[in-house]
């Protein structure tokens, strides 16, 4: 199983080195992430990509409660090929846009 941090690093690295993947990630994040990580993302999980800029920094906080609700459990019951551990760890915690360091132009903002 891939950890949240490893998944985040893999997505960010691929987006940095592959302009086509970056464009696909922005256009259809669910499909791009699922394809890269080889997982099926549960329909109850929303996937959003945001980009930092010199004047706009996004900070993603981890969920207050990392336990699945009854509704979440019901949505993934049976699994149907979903590796929910990966999806939950990655999507409930979320990538932190600024976790890779200081955004370019931060001093100029």
pLDDT at 26: 95
pTM, full prediction: 0.57
pLDDT tens for residues 57-82?
Answer: 999 887 776 666 667 666 666 554 44
pLDDT at 18: 97
pLDDT-flagged residues of the chain (< 50) = 80-82, 84, 90, 92-109
**Contact present, 44 and 76 (Cβ < 8 Å):** yes
Sequence-ordered list of residues with C-beta below 8 angstroms from that of 75, at least 6 positions apart, any chain: 42, 43, 44
Burial of 79 (0-12, 13-18, 19+ CB in 10 A): exposed
């Amino acid at each position: 199983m891939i950890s949240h941090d490893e998944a985040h690093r893999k997505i960010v690295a691929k987006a940095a080195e592959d302009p086509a993947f970056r464009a696909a990630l922005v256009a259809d994040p669910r499909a791009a992430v699922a394809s890269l990580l080889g997982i099926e993302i549960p329909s109850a999980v929303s996937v959003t990509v945001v980009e930092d800029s010199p004047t706009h920094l996004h900070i993603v906080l981890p969920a207050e409660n990392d336990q699945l609700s009854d509704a979440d459990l019901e949505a993934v019951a049976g699994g149907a090929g979903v590796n929910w551990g990966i999806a939950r760890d990655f999507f409930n915690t979320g990538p932190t846009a600024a976790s890779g360091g200081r955004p370019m132009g931060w001093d100029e903002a």
